[in-house]
Structure 1
Amino acid sequence: MTTFGEINEPSSRTAWEDWDDVLCSENYVDLHLEKTVEAPKQIDTFIILEGRYLYDCIRAHHELDLVNACSEVNLRLYRTRKMNNYVCTIRDYNLILSSEIVELLKPYINISTDVIAILTKPLVEYQVSELVTKDYVIRSLSTSKQSPNTLDINFTHLEQPNIITGVSAGVICWREITDKPAVALVCYIEHPEELQIQELFNFLEKFKVIPHVEKTQHNNLLNSNLYI
């Protein structure tokens, strides 16, 4: 007796996926930017800062002007004051809405010469054969087409089987499909509430997102008056 070719139903709910009982219409959010602002004709570099850590990095000290926002997904769109760059910050959003968020950003992504996405992930999610002894690890993932500009991004390529998800992944995939350059920087962090990563601050300063790093006082739990 063989079961080859037969359809075997799952014997228990443990074999079901979490989304099997979820209707597509549930929790649907109609995303839109708060202001009707026309995208510029050209952007040098479009920078995506994904996650609470990066949001906190620029919250108190930045050189940006707010252009637009989408409160449903905690998205803010800024223009740098000293360069023709745009910055998008996004945090605490539903991953299911990633495709819709990418659609919101497409008018800006499509006309940008370069796109850089920076996101943070827990260090425990970093899968590598050797032992990690640092408090953080930064890896890069780029599209097939390289930028003609000198972005000076020299981080080690993200190793398999590590992957990225969310808005950053969607934007990088879209740029790959449209044969345009883009790069994602993935920062795996051990203690994001206590860590100050100088390499990221230097990077943000280079693109005029924040002031000079030596003049910036970074806010975290270590230099606050909050005691737990």
Structure 2
Amino acid sequence: MVSHFGEVIFPSSRAFWDDEDEYEAVENLEHRPKLHVCWLKNKPERMQKFIIIEGEPLIPFVKQCLCHNKEEVCIIENENHKKISVIYHIDKQIYLCIILPQFDTKDAGTLVNQISDLLLNTESTISIVCRHVSQFQSTNIPETPSFLRILATKNANVSKYKIEPLEQPNIVFGVGAGVLSYAELTGISAKLYMLYIDNFVLDSKCAEPLLQVLTNEIDCKLQCPKSTENFFSKGNLYM
């Protein structure tokens, strides 16, 4: 596995770690959360890119940039039939998965296991995660409204993007971390972008690195966000 991981949440699943499963109590297996994947359109047999968006500040921005006039092709619900994730068909063989705010991060391993067939049939998987800069641990924090860090599998080419790797002891958790771990173990090409912002909402200035990533990774037209949208006018909150 890539050596520069800080920490990931290890999901309890045979698809990830066989040894741990041998010693799990039967009652723990019975109480694992159950997620339901429902395809509203034909499930793709092959995808060129599968993009995963995680972190509440990203959702309204990405929905307008990429999901404008796009249909939901798949929804994922928890055992209480509450929607926790949505997959959109963006263009040709490009699909986008949004992890909704109501998703419980501790179930990340279960969700990754549920979409593992999609990951195995994808040429490249890209996760974009948003965190507040207060969660970034470093002696040299950039004095900018936002900045990017990257983690990638060994077979992913990231040299052309000139983005610094996420250094230790920073922590990576959630679906993005689970997908990257799964990709490394199965030989899939995957990248995870960490967008750190100094705000609790994504304003136009903070969004600039995100637009750079989307432009580099997706060969399709982006719907430019309007400055009057709520995610640009909620005001600033600082810790």
Rg bigger for which structure? 1
| 1:94 corresponds to 2:115 | no
Aligned residues: 198
Structure 1 partner of 2:59? 55
| 1:211 corresponds to 2:217 | no
The residue identity in structure 1 corresponding to 2:60 is D
Which moves more between the two structures, 26-35 or 116-125? Answer: 26-35
Structure-1 separation of matches of 2:126 and 2:234:
31
Residue 221 of structure 1, CA deviation: 4.9
**Given the superposition, is the C-alpha separation of residues 208 and 74 from structure 1 closer, same or farther in structure 2, using an over 3 Å criterion?**
farther
1:193–1:220 Cα contact (<8 Å) kept: no
Structure 2 partner of 1:6? none
Paired residue for 2:166, among 158, 161, 177?
158
Which segments of structure 1 move beyond 4 Å, counting only runs of 4 or more? 23-28
Residue 146 of structure 1, CA deviation: 2.2
**Given the superposition, is the C-alpha separation of residues 171 and 221 from structure 1 closer, same or farther in structure 2, using an over 3 Å criterion?**
closer
Structure 2 partner of 1:170? 178
Higher RCO (C-alpha 8 Å, min separation 6): 2
2:60–2:231 Cα contact (<8 Å) kept: no
Q: Which secondary structure does the structure 2 equivalent of 1:129 belong to? A: coil
Q: Which secondary structure does the structure 2 equivalent of 1:169 belong to? A: helix
Structure 2 partner of 1:69? 75
Aligned identity (percent) is 21
Residue 163 of structure 1, CA deviation: 2.3
Q: TM-score of the superposition, structure 1-length normalised?
A: 0.75
Structure 2 partner of 1:182? 190
1:75–1:88 Cα contact (<8 Å) kept: yes
2:147–2:209 Cα contact (<8 Å) kept: no
**Given the superposition, is the C-alpha separation of residues 45 and 95 from structure 1 closer, same or farther in structure 2, using an over 3 Å criterion?**
same
Residue 37 of structure 1, CA deviation: 6.0
